[in-house]
A and B are shown apart, each in its own frame.
Chain A
Amino acid sequence: MDLSSINPVVLIAALMVAATPILLAAIGELVVEKAGVLNLGVEGMMITGAVIGFAVAVSTSNPYLGMLAALCGGAAISLIFAVLTQLLKANQVASGLALTLFGLGFSALLGQGFVGIVPPRTPKLSFGFLSEIPVLGPILFRHDPMVYLSIFLVAGVWYWLNHTRGGRILRAVGENHDAAHALGYRVLRVRILAIMFGGACAGLGGAYLSLIRVPQWTEGMTAGAGWIALALVVFASWRPWRALAGAYLFGGVLVLQLNLQAAGVRIPVEYLAMSPYLITILVLVIMSSGRARKTLAAPGSLGRPFHAAG
């Protein structure tokens, strides 16, 4: 075992990459839940995005086209959930699960011809001399564009939710859909749009996994990332910046665990590989128990179906 082989600068740079797919999916789901909808299909939408993004990127040799396709694919598949839960009033928990089960099968079907192919490389941005600064350079200025985009997305969602009219309407719909309806807001329309935004973000997160983070296509490659993203929303108490902090924390665990495997720590690989899931559970427990719970502030109408009477 050689712990000195773990370089903290490389570790921090790597954790930002590891955290990005979960962060993208989580920020999307955060908006969905703020609108009062619980979509448990994040895993299914992510893996759909992963395979669509991969397929399009490989066939066009352009990773950005792949990501665009994944974005659209994620939004499209989330529409199934939107129709089921919003128009047909189906149970949200069951519909989300159905989306995950369907997405896993659908992606395996689509991805058959793409196993073992190397996708086109996504170039890293270069900031000239900034990228050459020791320590700060590799951490802040040597990433692919998606890492920065995900951070901008967090900032954008934060600003939009708190400082714009549209954001306030979305929150009103999520807090109390009957009151929002009485005020004349279109509850279903707001929710369907929110669900599509969540789907697009999850799809993009999936494509980041298959195009940049791994980069390869394998069946079931999301391996619970969607569920970790769902847990992250709870961890973040439905606040965007906390989602960023949480995602980087999970990214750190993920990368550290991989580094320990590589450094040959005398714990079997399987037990190290469990740690992200166990830590997610632990964090969920801490966040939902006792005093922490009061500051959680889940949206008031979360998971409740809306049917306008009359």
Chain B
Amino acid sequence: MLRLEKRPQPSKFWNLATPVLAVVLTMIAGGLLFAALGKDPFIAIKMIFWDPLFSQQFAAYSRPQLLVKAAPLILIAVGLAVGFRAGIWNIGAEGQYIIGAICGAAVALAFFPAPGWYIFPLMVLAGAFGGWAWAMIPAILKTRFNTNEILVSLLLVYVAEKILAAMAVGRMRNPDGAGFPGSRNISQYPAASNPELIAGTGMHWGVVAAFIAVIFTYIMLHRHILGFQVQLAGQAPRAARFAGVAPARLVVLCLGFSGALAGLAGLFEVAGPARMISIDFNSYYGFTAIIVAFLGRLHPVGIVLAGFLMALTYIGGELAQFMLGLPSAAIQVFQGMLLFFLLALDVLSNYRLRLNFGEAA
């Protein structure tokens, strides 16, 4: 019989090894899935993980996409990780991302077509504020009324999606757009656009923001008292209260921080790669970022690596969809499986597996 024995402390080795092992297992399971769909698993896996970076045919287009896709994922996941560490579950980043984009776009559309260096910085502020404000709803309901932040933040995603639809066909619709839904093209409005900073790299202001956020979060978590409080609140809530951690303040801080970062991600996306507010502007970055946060072991550096890997599955998935006719949902399944394997393998870092023969009663 296999028996679990709790480790006194999580194993450092398995902590680092499990994400790698999970990726390998997901590739195997994913390969089986692709084979079941009638695609050659080896070609499909190579197309997802290798070709976007190294194939002569595709790399020129795909490589810059890596930064474009990884930046919002990392930006959102870093924020979420802080809350997850403290046991505060913001799973509505998708909604905060949408509202951030709407607020940022609103600033741009209000100034259109005036020039001015101050417009883009104002949009950045508005984006962060929008995401922050949307996250403050579950935060305040949690601290004031003890309402479950998981359910509230998630339900607000659906509300945000409806607001997005209302904006795309209503208030923000392009007046010169012949009645089609969607706003003006913000990326073609010079004072408000979030352009590619270095041609051919995919580098835009969102990438810069993501790296600043990673460094900031690293310092906060590992060099500041707040990081200690987050850790303590997550692992021993009672001890945290004795140590003087105010739970309500922590909820507001964690949700606000992750909301602001998600809002920023939305703003950079709408002013850059997505170009405008449209009905289907959101692309589930907010949910995928949850997987990124776990895959990165809730650690800023890990999240950077995980963000790039996840971005790769997006890009490679699109490539496989285009070249092999692999359904886009297959990639979603692939990402879901990754999270399953990751959570399953966590048992190795927290428990020791023991084989014992002949149970002594």
Which A residues fall within an 8 A CB radius of B? 40, 80, 83-84, 88-91, 93-95, 97-98, 101-106, 108-109, 112, 219, 223-224, 227-228, 230-231, 234, 268, 270-271, 273-274, 277-278, 280-281, 284-285, 288-290, 293, 307, 309
Contact = CB atoms under 8 A, between A and B. Distances in A.
Nearest to A227: B154
B158 A106 contact: no
A278 B170 contact: no
Contacts of B14: none
Contacts of A309: 6
B147 A270 contact: no
A93 B91 CA distance: 10
B163 A270 contact: yes
Given A89-B4, A98-B336, A268-B166, A284 B346 contact: no
Given A288-B147, A293-B146, 4 more contacts: A93-B150, A231-B155, A281-B141, A281-B147
B333 to A, nearest CB: 4
Contacts of B155: 224, 227-228, 231, 277, 280-281
B151 A97 contact: no
B344 A88 contact: yes
Interface of B: 4, 6, 89, 91, 141, 144-148, 150-152, 154-156, 158-159, 162-163, 165-166, 169-170, 287, 290-291, 294, 327-337, 339-340, 343-344, 346-347, 350-351
A270 B290 CA distance: 27
Contacts of A93: 89, 150
A270 B165 contact: yes
A271 B287 CA distance: 24
Nearest to B6: A307
A44 B27 CA distance: 22
Given A105-B335, A231-B155, A284 B147 contact: yes
A277 B154 CA distance: 10
A115 to B, nearest CB: 12
User: 7 closest pairs, A vs B, by CB?
Assistant: A105-B332, A102-B336, A108-B329, A289-B145, A270-B166, A109-B329, A90-B343
A91 B343 contact: yes
Given A88-B344, A102-B339, A234-B148, A285 B141 contact: yes
A92 B23 CA distance: 21
Nearest to A85: B343
Contact of A230 (B6, B151, B162, B339): B151
Nearest to A268: B166
A89 B147 contact: no
Contacts of B4: 89, 307
A224 B158 contact: yes
Contact of A268 (B146, B170, B294, B334): B170
